[in-house]
Amino acid sequence: MSLSIHVKNLSKSFNSSTVLSDISFNLKAGTSTVILGASGSGKSVLLKCMSGLLIADKGTSIVVGGHEVGASHISERPAPISKIGFSFQLNASFDSLLVWQDIMFNEFINEVKTDEELIESAKTLLKMVELSPELAFSNSKQSSGGMQKRIGIARAIATQSTLLMLDEPTSGLDRETSEKISALIHELHHKMKYTVVSVSHDMHYTKTVADNVIIIKDRTIGWSGTLDECNNSNNEVVEKFFHS
């Protein structure tokens, strides 16, 4: 079952510097939302707070699938939010691991299944992200940028969550590869009924995968609405990203 997200009064500061201030929004289960904003606007910080990778400031309420994302250690969180699928901007692959070990990392280090079972699971996930199953036996760092992005998405799916959080999934890629990744996320969202939250600055990606758009400006929400509303809006904040 897909997970809904409810964010209320989210703020985040580092030392005396405020990065995000009083952000609130609701995302329905099974929808795809893209968070836009200028470089350094706090997009990735927002995504990491929503996932629990960063702890938001006091007074913030983040509820995922009916469970509060709090300050507890991830191992103590309810299953729906302890297994959020997160794909990092810089891929975060492990240099010393084979692709199948990288994708199935949590189960691999916990030894909950045999290597043979994990390899088969990794091969299935590689096929889902349109990569050859034989890639399972190569090293992640030897793969191209586009392949590493797909491996990162496969790792996120391996959590068996129905919520994917993707930080700049097309950054650093050429146009053709970026379009393929965009099409892949669009297909996963619609075919698998995932709730997807992405951070991006890529307009093609946004227009391909988004049901909803949130634009961060001056540390808070500058605009939010559906993709159709975005395409037809003459709002100054929207104009800067969509029609410039």
Residue 89: the pLDDT is: 75
| pLDDT, average across residues 107-129 | 87
Q: What is the C-alpha to C-alpha distance for residues 50 and 124, in angstroms, rounded to an integer?
A: 28
Long-range contacts: 95-99, Cβ < 8 Å, 24+? Answer: 95/139, 95/140, 95/141, 97/139, 97/140, 98/136, 98/137, 98/138, 98/139, 98/140, 99/126, 99/135, 99/136, 99/137, 99/138, 99/139, 99/140, 99/143, 99/151
Q: Is 124 contained in some domain?
A: no
Q: Which residues pair with 163 in a beta bridge?
A: 195
**Total of domains in the chain:** 1
Say what the pTM is: 0.87
Mean pLDDT of 3-22: 92
By residue range, what is the domain housing residue 45?
Answer: 5-94+161-243
The CATH code of the domain that includes 200 is 3.40.50.300
Instruction: Identify whether 126 is part of a domain.
Output: no
**What is the pLDDT, as a whole number, of residue 1?**
61
Q: How many helices (H) and strands (E) does the chain have?
A: 10, 10
205 domain-assigned: yes
pLDDT at residue 223, as a whole number: 94
In a domain, 189, yes or no: yes
- Whether 13 is covered by a domain: the verdict is yes
Say what the pLDDT of residue 167 is: 92
Summarize pLDDT for 155-206 with one digit per residue, the tens: 888 887 788 999 999 888 889 888 988 998 998 898 888 899 999 989 999 9
Q: What tens digit of pLDDT does each residue of 64-98 get?
A: 877 787 645 455 555 545 568 888 876 656 667 89
